[in-house]
Structure formats: structure tokens, C-alpha cells
Structure 1
Amino acid sequence: MKIRVNRLALSETLSLVGSVVPSRTPKPVLRGVLMYTQGDTLRLYGTDLELSIDAGLSQVEIERQGRVLLDADRLVGIVREGGDEVLDFDVAGDACTIVGSDSRYKVYTLDIEQYPIVVPASKAGGLSVSLKDMREAARQVVFAAAKESSRYAINGVLFELKGKRLGLVATDGRRLARRRVNGTVSEGCQLAAQRVIVPTKALALVERLGEDGEELSMDLSGNQIVISCGDVAICSNLVEGTFPKYEDIIPSDYQRRLELDTLAFSSAIKRAALLTTDQAKGIKISITSDKMVLSSRAPEAGDAEVTMPISAGCQPLDIGFNPQYLLEALRVVQAPRIQLELGEADRPAIIKAEPDFLYLVMPINLG
């Protein structure tokens, strides 16, 4: 293989593909990035055997077709640190020469014959959604997924397609986030037939894809989900297991409904939590007919109290929350106002925001 490639374009694509390459693995060959030519395009491929990504770039001149497997960390360093507009790659035998205007590297290649290429059985195309909507949806639910395994498969994000609406749901058992997006469903779409659980790492890649005006396509291929956008394809194993029946725990009978300014509510929570400690992490929200008081108390730190006016008419209530769980939800809300729904002190709170975001958080006992 012999090519000349735009360094900045290569660096951007390499950053995306390199993010799935494991830094520690018993298989040294997995630390590599595969570079190969396809027509007039240079493509980069990386995998950790559970998640793979294949991305192309067109800012390249190809003199000789071919492929090469290079250590990802070394390649990233060479491409990132150079100040050249273009880099020349020339593969001969077991070495690849990389030449810039004032630099030259001879890098030994990895054994390409031992490299596992995970190829899906079919390309994505069953469901198409706006990339902008999907990026936002991923950001609004991924944070709520469990970081550790449990008897339920909640260390991923549930995908459930109902009609033309895709629901993304994540929970860690203490809070739950759900966002729905509209899409276009093709005939034979496998996503329409079942609920699946997608790893959070795959969704994190979605946030780094393309431009907001583009469309994203996805569908199932065996036990994998294939996500495509532009010249990038992501293939990920699904999380095995059962996602809990979350619909049963979302209350629909609450009478206390407060419409709040998103930034003002977030600021009040932050200020009320300033005197919390590791031993006293919670804040109390006290509702009266015309105001909300957010407070915290820690024996070794002191007391804090912040007051917010609310619409008149709510029944009184004292309820405790972990402030971090509230702030993490408000941080991903794009709408200027949210609706806070409350039941009794031992029942979860609900935060709703446009477009079609729902967040449920369990209260805590402040003692």
C-alpha cells in the first residue's frame, strides 16, 4: 500500500476508530488499527471483539492499493504530533514508512493474518432517525445506566421500537431515564420484532458521528446491532439478559405537578447541596402552597436553605433526594422548563421535559 493522506482528516478518523481499540489485552494484535484502501477511499477499522468500527476518509491519494495493521498508540502519536498537511505511507514487507515534510518513521507492522475482522451479516438500514435526535437521546439516557452487572441486564440501554418511535431506556435501579425519537421504518426491520439492550460504549460512539443534518440507520444482525452514518459503520454485540419491566414503576396518579425553570431549579439544588458531606449527602425538598425550600444539614458542616417560588395550590410535602441524581438529569435537559411530579415521601419523583424526555428518581431517607 502506498498513499498520501491529509493529516488532520486522518487524525480525526483515527481518534474515532482508536477509541474502541483496547489498551490492555491478552491478544497484542487487538492493539492495532487496520488501514486499507477501497477504491479511492482509505478506511480504518478497529475492534475489541465486542465492538467494532469501520470509517472511511476521502482526503487521500492512492498510488498503490493494499492494507496494513499498525499499533494504534504509535500511529496516533505520529499523526497527532506532526505539523504536516499531508503524510505519505508506504508499506513494504513487515514495515510501514511514514514520511512528513521534516520527519520519517519506519514502523514495524502487526500480523494482519491474525487480526479478527468482525463483519456483520447485513448492513444497517431497518430504522432511520435524525442523527441530531439520536445524539441527544443517547446523551439523555446513557448516564443513568448501571456501571456494574446485576441480576437484570441494566448495564446497557434498552431499545424498543413501537410503530415509528424508538424508545431508549436506561436505569441503575435508583433512577431511570427514557427518551423517545421518531424514525422511518423499512420493511423487514428486525428492530421492530424485539426489545434489545445496547452497550453504553456503542451509544457513546454515536455522539461522535457526522454532522447534525445527517441521518443515522440501524438494524439487527444476529446478536449484533449495526449502526451506520455517512461513511462510518459501528457493529456491537448486544447485552444478554432481561431488562426489567420499567413501565410498571412509572406512576401515573400524581397530583403535585410543578413547572420549573430548568436553570433556576438546577442552581437551587447546587446551592442547597454545598454543605452536604459524604456522611450526609442528601437534600430535603419541602413543598408548601406557594414555595419550594431546598435544604441540607450536616453536623460537621452546617445548614443550607434555598427558596424557590412555585405556583400556588400544591399539597405540602417533605421529601429527600441525592442531589447528584437530580443534577445529572437536569444537565442533559435541553428545554428551558421542566415539569416535576411528586407523590408521597416514599415514592419516586418524575421529571419531564420536551421533547419526550422522562426521568424517574427514587427518594432517600434523610433520617
Structure 2
Amino acid sequence: MKFEIQQEELQKALDIIANVVPTKTPMPLLTCILMETAGGKLKLSATNLDISITTATDKVEVKDDGRAAIPAGKLVPFVRSLRPGKVTLAQKGKDILVTCGKTRLTEKTMEVDKYPALKGVVEKDGLEVDARILIDMINDTAYAVSRDESRPALMGILWEIRPDQLTLVATDAHRLARSERAMDWKFTGEKNLIVDTAGLRQLSRIVSAMETEDGEEPQVTLFITENQLSFRAGETVLQVRLLEGPFPDYKAVIPGDNDKNVIADKADFAQAIRRVAITADRMTSQVRLGIEAGRMELSARSTEGSQSEDEIPVSYDGAALEIGFNFTYLQDILKNIRTEQVAISLRDPQCAALIKPVDEKGEDAGVLCLLMPLRLSGD
């Protein structure tokens, strides 16, 4: 195998797939990037067996067809360190030589024939969606996934695919995030999938590297198979494993009778939380919200005796209420809301709160966040 390519083009391709390569694994070959040249194209692949990415470019001058499994640990940082210019990769026996001007790296390759076979995607009945919308929906929900390996289904995001709508849901049992969007795609029936969150996070990296010649929003095509969800974005294909369920009946925990509705400026709310959280108890991370007509008082108290208070104006004309929340969870929600205002729907100090983004027209953006309260300290 031998080819010449511009440093910028090679780095872009490596950046798309490099994050999938595991640093610690009982299978050393998985620490490699598979490079293949054929038909005037360069194809790069990487996998950790749960997530696989393949990308290709024709902005390359192929001298000799071939394939090699190259350890990513030195190749990727070496290419990133190079100045812009022509890079030559040439395989000589078990070595790969990477040359750019007078700079050169020699690295041992591994047995390419033993590299895990990557299943190709059967590109049939694909569902096309605006890539930016999909990335927004993933970001709307991914922060709420569980890290509890004893509940693997909660480590993924639920996809509810319908003929005219896509809904993504994530929960860790303390909080829940749901994002809904209307879809205009050719899909019949109903499909529920639990998709590995780590794989979905790779999609953002892929979309960021995409280019559209006419300036239009990039498109992603989804392909559903029995045990994986695949995405094609230009010359890149991402394959993500599906997780086994069941996923909890999330609709049953969303309250329908919260009657106390508060509208707050997101930036004011977030800044006040950050200030009072300085004295929050380290074990509970509790921040107390005292809400009454036109104002919200935030406070926190540590076990050492320090305490802090802040106050922000809000739109509210109901009965006074005090409720406690984990400030980290509140911050996560606000970080992932893109509107300037948020609506907080409450009932009492023991019931879940619903938090939604509110746009300029006073309408929510199809995003709902549920947060369980904490028992108020001293109660």
C-alpha cells in the first residue's frame, strides 16, 4: 500500500474515527486503524466492537492498492503535529512509513488479516433527517443517561420512531429528558430502539467534519437492522449497537397535574445556582428554591455552617412553595436548553418538576426535562 494525501485531508479523516479506538483492550488489534486503498480511494475504519466507523476520501493519489492495520496511538498525534502539505504513507514489509517533507515516522503494523471483520450496512429503506436536528435531539437527552452498569438499558437513549415523529428519551431514575420532533420521512409502523449513547456522541464529531458544497444543512440517513442502528453522512458510516431492554415506562412518571408554573430567565437562573452552590452540602448537593409571586429565592447550606442566598425575578403568581433539587442536575438541564427562558412546572415539594425551554412566542421547543426533588434539609 502506498498513497499521497494532503495533511489536512488525512487529519480530518483520522479525527472522524480516532475516538472510537480503545486505549485499553485485551484485543491489541482494536488499537489500530484499518487503512485500505482501492479504486482510487482511501478508506479508514476503526471499531471497539460496540461502535464502528468507516470513512473514505477520493482526495488522495493512490500509488499501490493494499491494506494495513496501523496502531493509532502514534499515528494520529503524529499526523496532527505535521505542517500542512503532502503526506506519503508507504508500507514496507511490516512497517508503515509516514513522510511529510523531512519529517518521518516509522511504525510497526499488526496482522491486518486478523482485524475484526466489519459488517457492511445494507442501505435499504433509509430514513433521511437533517443532521443538525438529530444532533440537537441527542444533546437534549444524552446528559440524562445512567452510568449504572447494572442497568444497561438506562445507559442508552430510547428512540421511538413513528411515521411522522421521532422521540428520544433518556433517564437515570433521578431525572429524565425527552426530545420530540416532527419528521417528514417514509416510515410505516412503529419502532422502539435503545441505542448506545457513546456511539451517538460520535455522530456530532462526524457531522462537524461534513462539508456541503451548496451551503445546505448536512443530511444523515438512518438504517435499522436487528441489532444496530447505522448512520450514513456523506462518505462516513457509523454503526452503533442496540441495547437490550426493557426501557422503563417513562410516560407513567411524567406528572400531568403540576399546577404551579414559573417562567425564569435561563441565564439569571443558572448564574444564581452557580453562586449558591458554593455552600451546598457535599453529600446531597442540595439547593433550596423558595418561590412566591414575582420572585425566586435560592439558598444552600453546608454541614459546616456556611450558607448563601440569591434572588432572581420570575413570572409567577401562585401560592408560595419551597422545593429542593440537586444543583448539578439543574445545571445539566440548563446547559442543554438553547432558549433564553425556561418554564418550570411544579406541584409540591415531593413531586417531580417539569422544566421546558420557552421560545420568544412562549412555546416550548419539543423538549421536556423531569427532575425529582430532594427532601428539604431540616424537614
TM-score in terms of structure 1 length: 0.94
Aligned partners of 1:152 and 1:65: how far apart in 2?
A: 42
Query: Offset of 1:125 from its aligned partner?
Result: 5.2
Residue 326 (structure 2) aligned to one of 318, 322, 327? 322
> 1:127·1:184 contact (CA, 8 Å) conserved in 2?
no
Q: Which residue of 1 aligns with 2:3?
A: 3
Q: Which residue of 1 aligns with 2:360?
A: none
Q: Which residue of 2 aligns with 1:307?
A: 311
Q: Which residue of 1 aligns with 2:219?
A: 215
Which secondary structure does the structure 2 equivalent of 1:209 belong to?
Answer: helix
Q: Which residue of 2 aligns with 1:71?
A: 71
Alpha carbons of structure 1 residues 55 and 152: separation in structure 2 relative to 1, 3 Å: closer
Aligned partners of 1:180 and 1:290: how far apart in 2?
A: 31
Aligned pair 1:366/2:376, yes or no? yes
Aligned pair 1:139/2:147, yes or no? no
Aligned partners of 1:6 and 1:304: how far apart in 2?
A: 56
Aligned pair 1:36/2:36, yes or no? yes
Residue 205 (structure 1) aligned to one of 199, 202, 225? 202
- Aligned AA (1:358): L
Q: Which residue of 2 aligns with 1:258?
A: 262
Q: Which residue of 1 aligns with 2:170?
A: 170
Query: Offset of 1:336 from its aligned partner?
Result: 1.1
* CA deviation profile, 1:291-312 (whole Å, cap 9, x unmatched): 2111112242522111122234
Which secondary structure does the structure 2 equivalent of 1:185 belong to?
Answer: coil
Residue 242 (structure 2) aligned to one of 238, 243, 251? 238
Aligned partners of 2:164 and 2:37: how far apart in 1?
A: 37
- Which consecutive unaligned segments of at least 5 residues does structure 1 have? none
List, as ranges, runs of 4+ consecutive aligned residues in structure 1 with deviation greater than 3 Å: none
* CA deviation profile, 1:120-145 (whole Å, cap 9, x unmatched): 45127532211111111111211110
* CA deviation profile, 1:77-123 (whole Å, cap 9, x unmatched): 32122224121111233222222101233322110110012214512
Aligned partners of 1:312 and 1:177: how far apart in 2?
A: 24
Aligned pair 1:334/2:338, yes or no? yes
* CA deviation profile, 1:18-63 (whole Å, cap 9, x unmatched): 1111111111111110111242321110001111000112321112
Count of equivalent residues: 364
- Aligned AA (1:310): V
Aligned partners of 2:155 and 2:316: how far apart in 1?
A: 41
Aligned partners of 1:341 and 1:124: how far apart in 2?
A: 43
Q: Which residue of 1 aligns with 2:118?
A: 118
TM-score in terms of structure 2 length: 0.91
- Aligned AA (1:110): M
- Which consecutive unaligned segments of at least 5 residues does structure 2 have? 211-215, 358-363
> 2:261·2:316 contact (CA, 8 Å) conserved in 1?
no
Residue 355 (structure 1) aligned to one of 354, 365, 372? 365
Q: Which residue of 2 aligns with 1:267?
A: 271
Alpha carbons of structure 1 residues 289 and 137: separation in structure 2 relative to 1, 3 Å: same
> 1:120·1:226 contact (CA, 8 Å) conserved in 2?
no
Aligned partners of 2:130 and 2:367: how far apart in 1?
A: 16
**Root-mean-square deviation over aligned CA pairs:** 1.8
Percent identity between matched residues is 29
